[in-house]
A and B are shown apart, each in its own frame.
Chain A
Amino acid sequence: MPRYTPTVNGQARAVDAPADMPLLYVLRDLLGVTGPKYGCGVGVCGACTSHLGDDAVRPCIVPMDSVGARPVTTIEGLADGDVLHPVQEAWLAEDVAQCGFCQPGQIMTAVHLLAANPDPSDADIDAAMSENVCRCGTYVRIRAAIRRAADLGSA
């Protein structure tokens, strides 16, 4: 079983895992990083969305041997210590979450969207965020939070 030394949320970690093990189970079951959630296991719900380098990815369908040297950032790695990322702050200001289970993935998708497009239109938000399911139906507040974060970023 190969040994990998991924950088997860800024820390070098070491783990023995099969090459085809999806990153999600490495994170959750072997490294105890439980912010990314299992919602479908096949890349269609977005609950595990995390960042691999500059990309937003679905760890449930990213095999461990494809991670390489790119740093892994999960929801736990988004804040700078106690200082939340502006998108997290916007999520709090709009009280977006209900059950909260999908929100780590929603936030990581939104952060990626805003990094590429600091002032997204409604259509841009539709396109980027429709890959993430929220069963509580928080979409209207997710949109408001993205707009709020965009306004903060341009202020």
Chain B
Amino acid sequence: MVHRSEGSVRPDEPPEGGGAPISRRRFLQFTLAGTGTLVVGGAVVGGGDAGDPAGALDLGEIIDFGNAITLAESLYADNLLLEVTADNRIRFELPRLDKGQGIATAIAMLVADELDADYERTDVELSDRRPDRPFSITGSSAAVRALWAPVRGVAAQARARLVTAAALRWRVSASSLTTSQSRVTAPDGRSATYGELSAEAARVTIPLIPTTPRPVDRYRIVGTAKSRKNARAIVTGAQEYTLDLGVPGAMPTVIARSPDVGGTVASWSAGPAASMPGVVGITQVPSGIAVAARTFHEAFAARDALQITWRPGTARGRSDDNMREGLRQIVPPLTPVLPLYRSHEATFEFPFMAHAPMEVMGAVADVRDGAAEIWYASQSPNYLAAEVARALRIPVSNVTMHVPYAGGSFGRRLFGEPAIEAAQISRALGVPVKLMWTRNDDMRHGRFRPITRCAVRASWLGRATTSFEHRIASARTDFSHGLGDALTAAGAQIAPGLISQVGFQTMVSIPYAFGVSNGLLAERDFGVPTGSWRSVFSGTMTAANEIFIDEMARARGQDEVGFRLRHLDSPAATRCLEQVAAAGDWGRSMPAGQAQGVALHVEYRSAVAYLVEIDTNGAEPRLTRAFAAVDVGIPVNTRGLQAQMQGALVDGWSAMFLAGIHIDDGFVREGSFADFHWARMRHAPTTTEVHVFPATPGAEPGGAGELGIPAASAACVNAYARATGERPRRFPIGEVA
């Protein structure tokens, strides 16, 4: 067994209020594990250390949600676990969800580089929920930002102790020793592997070399291209996701859910279902009637045989048209344009949008004897554990949560409905269950990016842009997944209903000098479940801005790239735009019906630009070539970044041209990928070249997971508008009205 965070005092509950009197004095722990190896972990020390309070932060200091997560987590940042095993492997437990963004690989690179470890022998596992990391949320593209310093710190500590152990063993100066490929070497040629030194390193109390991480320019793995650590497992089918886990006795389980959004059971009887083949148990849960069976097929059959009367759901009477009209009514007014000024104004409408990760939502739960063991790919495991505990009325300390790799998320797994349901079913039936949401459940009972209306207006006098205003009306975004607690812990006192305003305000800034610039958000609850969708407000707002800027440039007789370059006040965005304009040969002559389009985005301390080419002459419009340039301050895995930017382009195309969720009198129209039209191979460009700028001296790493969406979305629409002369106003463009 591995000891970790001995002496940790962090309770399950988040600290009370912002700026709780928690000491910032921390120490790293070095314990001898049962196997006799170095385990570097951390623990926060509580108690009065009155001279160094956490201190409340003004909201103004919170740059964005990622910054809030980093701040909230900072007190617990060193609560990490890194083990040097006797067989000379490095094992690091990552307090984040890897859902395809590649964070496990990026962190393995960082650990190995700082530790001078053999990268091939560096393993990153996803950590179970850690109560001593209450704000570890995978979101806001913040994982590298938040873990950059603490991971380097814990690896540097481990390296210093391994070197010290070797120095003591050989009675030589520690500073004379070198490290490479998980081995310490002395000037006289003696050497030992980290594994061989691990037990002695665990007994080192005072390292004899500095424990400060090395400067970025000394890294040799960070900033290079590495393949995904689990790539071989994926291509051989060995990679396990939640419902692939061989949890003993876990029975396949599905839930009969209401036909409309948010409906509840009025009455039910099992009818013939109870005696159908394979059925193990049937029970009611708040979201419907659950059936556990030998196989999912038998569970489906029994589910379909249940006799259920439903109460109407939460969105009856709501349809796309009346919600769009509702948004039109609440969108805040734009400021009147002054006499003599010229202006451009446009309104853009976005539909509800499902996350639809390829892996449907699901969870495994084993609840017995007042304790719950949960397997769920959660982005916010501590918040979810508290919800499970509340639902079961057990102490949260009795909730163990394992975090398997996820088959996509796009924000969906910030929420954990399946884990709560599975726990309730397991307890009711007295067996472990593996609950699967069918694709139909995912589409009809999931959460959506809110239906949104963006009104944008800019005014100018001569060549000077004097104002840029953005007004948004949107279905209310549900942020009840732990981010509010993180914000509070970061010192921002925010009423729960205002979290979306905070998010909006941190995302609303534009990277252009456009005179007076401001944004307002008005939200309305339509009874349709919502949630953050990859890039949150920026996915609609910034996409709208970048489409609008193209229109404004043309209205003023200016080139779309030149206009942006003249107004940009972000050096990173400028060089990204210049890069794609050069790589894609901006302005090259193209046949009728074909055109280029550009757009950019600055967020998460990063910048990106896209240039795409479209051909609208075929049966449906299609991207032909695409170029992206991304500046994340310090790239960790350039190949992972390229994948993110390539994928964001497919998402952007899908969201703007193909896909959307429709509500008809409270019912969701779409039920699977047959009618939720996500892009397929035939919609994707044949090439997407992504340029990753190398580390900038003095920079810190920025986020990347959501970065590409707004710019990619707008670049596609801008190319379409230039090819067709149309001015798209409602998305997806390809939808028959």
Give the B-binding residues of A (Cβ under 8 A): 1, 17-18, 21-22, 25-26, 28-30, 32, 34-42, 44-45, 47, 74-76, 78-79, 84, 88, 91-92, 95-104, 107, 122, 125-127, 129-143
Q: Are B297 and A101 in contact (CB under 8 A)?
A: no
Q: Are A143 and B681 in contact (CB under 8 A)?
A: yes
Partner of B277, one of A1, A37, A76, A137: A1
10 A-B pairs in the complex with CB atoms less than 8 angstroms apart? A21-B295, A21-B297, A42-B439, A91-B231, A99-B99, A102-B358, A104-B237, A140-B684, A142-B681, A143-B681
Closest residue of B by beta carbon distance from A90 = B235
Known: A18-B297, A45-B358, A133-B678. A76 touches B672 (CB 8 A): no
Is B252 close to A, CB under 8 A? yes
Q: Are B673 and A40 in contact (CB under 8 A)?
A: yes
Residues of B within 8 A of A29 (CB): 252, 294-297
Closest residue of B by beta carbon distance from A133 = B673
Interface SS, A side: loop
**For the complex, what is the distance from the CA of A104 to the CA of B231, rounded to whole Å?**
11
Interface residues of B toward A: which range? 35 or more
Residues of B within 8 A of A28 (CB): 296
Q: Are B241 and A130 in contact (CB under 8 A)?
A: no
Q: Are B681 and A135 in contact (CB under 8 A)?
A: no
Residues of A within 8 A of B646 (CB): 137-138, 140-141
Known: A35-B237, A47-B358, A137-B649. A95 touches B686 (CB 8 A): no
Give the A-binding residues of B (Cβ under 8 A): 99-102, 227-228, 230-241, 243-244, 246, 252, 277, 294-298, 356-360, 405-408, 410, 436, 438-439, 639, 643, 646-651, 672-674, 678-682, 684-688
Closest residue of B by beta carbon distance from A32 = B246
Partner of A84, one of B235, B277, B298: B235
Q: Are A135 and B356 in contact (CB under 8 A)?
A: yes
Known: A92-B235, A126-B682, A143-B686. A133 touches B240 (CB 8 A): no
**For the complex, what is the distance from the CA of A130 to the CA of B620, rounded to whole Å?**
14
Partner of A101, one of B246, B358, B439, B678: B358
**For the complex, what is the distance from the CA of A41 to the CA of B407, rounded to whole Å?**
16
Residues of B within 8 A of A74 (CB): 237
Most chain A beta-carbon contacts within 10 A, residue among B102, B407, B687? B407
Residues of B within 8 A of A95 (CB): 227-228, 231, 639, 643
Q: Are B672 and A45 in contact (CB under 8 A)?
A: yes
Q: How far is the CB of A95 from chain B (nearest CB, A)?
A: 4
Q: Are A38 and B243 in contact (CB under 8 A)?
A: yes
Partner of A139, one of B227, B233, B648, B684: B684
Known: A34-B240, A75-B236. A130 touches B651 (CB 8 A): no
Residues of B within 8 A of A132 (CB): 680-681
Q: Are A76 and B688 in contact (CB under 8 A)?
A: no
Q: Are A30 and B100 in contact (CB under 8 A)?
A: no
Q: How far is the CB of A81 from chain B (nearest CB, A)?
A: 11
Q: How far is the CB of B484 from chain A (nearest CB, A)?
A: 27
Q: Are B235 and A139 in contact (CB under 8 A)?
A: no
Known: A34-B244, A39-B358. A101 touches B672 (CB 8 A): no
Residues of B within 8 A of A36 (CB): 237
Partner of B235, one of A34, A91, A137: A91
Q: How far is the CB of B379 from chain A (nearest CB, A)?
A: 13
Known: A25-B296, A84-B235, A139-B650. A99 touches B639 (CB 8 A): no
Q: Are A135 and B357 in contact (CB under 8 A)?
A: yes
Q: Are B236 and A37 in contact (CB under 8 A)?
A: no
Q: Are B295 and A136 in contact (CB under 8 A)?
A: no
Q: Are A100 and B234 in contact (CB under 8 A)?
A: yes
Q: How far is the CB of B276 from chain A (nearest CB, A)?
A: 10
Q: How far is the CB of B432 from chain A (nearest CB, A)?
A: 14
Residues of B within 8 A of A22 (CB): 297
Q: Are A138 and B297 in contact (CB under 8 A)?
A: no
Q: How far is the CB of A90 from chain B (nearest CB, A)?
A: 9
Residues of A within 8 A of B359 (CB): 37, 39, 99, 101
Residues of A within 8 A of B439 (CB): 39-42, 45
**For the complex, what is the distance from the CA of A35 to the CA of B407, rounded to whole Å?**
13
List 20 other contacts, CB 8 Å, given A37-B358, A102-B358, A135-B358.
A29-B295, A36-B237, A38-B296, A40-B673, A44-B673, A76-B236, A76-B237, A88-B236, A92-B232, A95-B643, A97-B235, A100-B234, A100-B405, A104-B234, A104-B237, A122-B686, A134-B358, A135-B678, A136-B650, A137-B651
Q: Are A92 and B237 in contact (CB under 8 A)?
A: no
Residues of B within 8 A of A129 (CB): 680-681
Q: How far is the CB of B713 from chain A (nearest CB, A)?
A: 12
Q: Are A133 and B643 in contact (CB under 8 A)?
A: no
Closest residue of A by beta carbon distance from B672 = A40
Residues of B within 8 A of A45 (CB): 358, 439, 672-673
Q: Are B297 and A25 in contact (CB under 8 A)?
A: yes
Partner of A99, one of B238, B406, B685: B406
Q: Are A125 and B358 in contact (CB under 8 A)?
A: no
**For the complex, what is the distance from the CA of A25 to the CA of B408, rounded to whole Å?**
22
Q: How far is the CB of A150 from chain B (nearest CB, A)?
A: 14
Q: Are B358 and A140 in contact (CB under 8 A)?
A: no
Q: Are A99 and B672 in contact (CB under 8 A)?
A: no
Partner of B239, one of A92, A100, A140: A100
**For the complex, what is the distance from the CA of A35 to the CA of B681, rounded to whole Å?**
22
Q: Are B680 and A99 in contact (CB under 8 A)?
A: no
Known: A25-B297, A76-B236, A129-B681. A44 touches B672 (CB 8 A): yes
Residues of B within 8 A of A103 (CB): 234-235
Closest residue of A by beta carbon distance from B100 = A99
**For the complex, what is the distance from the CA of A2 to the CA of B76, rounded to whole Å?**
57
Closest residue of A by beta carbon distance from B688 = A140
Q: How far is the CB of A21 from chain B (nearest CB, A)?
A: 5
Residues of A within 8 A of B648 (CB): 137
Q: Are A99 and B407 in contact (CB under 8 A)?
A: yes
Closest residue of A by beta carbon distance from B440 = A41
Q: Are A137 and B650 in contact (CB under 8 A)?
A: yes
**For the complex, what is the distance from the CA of A107 to the CA of B234, rounded to whole Å?**
10
Q: Are A100 and B236 in contact (CB under 8 A)?
A: no
Closest residue of B by beta carbon distance from A18 = B277
Residues of A within 8 A of B406 (CB): 99
Known: A38-B243, A40-B439. A30 touches B295 (CB 8 A): yes
Residues of A within 8 A of B360 (CB): 38-39
Q: How far is the CB of A108 from chain B (nearest CB, A)?
A: 10
Q: Are A133 and B684 in contact (CB under 8 A)?
A: no
Known: A99-B100, A101-B358. A79 touches B672 (CB 8 A): no
